[in-house]
């Protein structure tokens, strides 16, 4: 799901389509791995994206 950003921060139509495809891939998956930047720690955006995983 590289590149998933908040709706207000996406500008290009292609980027919006790629985000939609990434979210659809999460929905179809049986296993999801959330990788975070160890230097930054877990951010609010990381938690938001992890929220898509059920």
Task: Flag whether 2 is in a domain.
Answer: no
Task: Flag whether 20 is in a domain.
Answer: yes
Q: Any residues with CB less than 8 A from the CB of 28 and at least 6 apart, and which? A: none
pLDDT tens digits along 30-50: 999 989 999 999 999 889 888
Task: Flag whether 14 is in a domain.
Answer: yes
| HEC string for the chain | CCCCCCHHHCCCHHHHHHHHHHHHHHHHCCCCCCCCCCCCCCCHHHHHHHCCCC
> For the whole prediction, is pTM greater than 0.85?
no
Into how many domains does the chain fold? 1
- Containing domain of residue 23, as a range? 7-50
Task: Flag whether 36 is in a domain.
Answer: yes
Q: Rounded distance, CA 53 to CA 1, Å?
A: 12
Could you give the 3-state DSSP secondary structure of residue 53?
coil
pLDDT for res 2: 58
């Amino acid at each position: 799901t590289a590149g998933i950003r908040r709706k207000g921060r996406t500008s290009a139509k292609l980027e919006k389509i790629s985000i939609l495809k990434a979210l659809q891939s999460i929905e179809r998956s049986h296993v999801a791995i959330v990788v975070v930047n160890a230097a930054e720690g877990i951010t609010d955006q990381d938690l938001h994206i992890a929220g898509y995983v059920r």
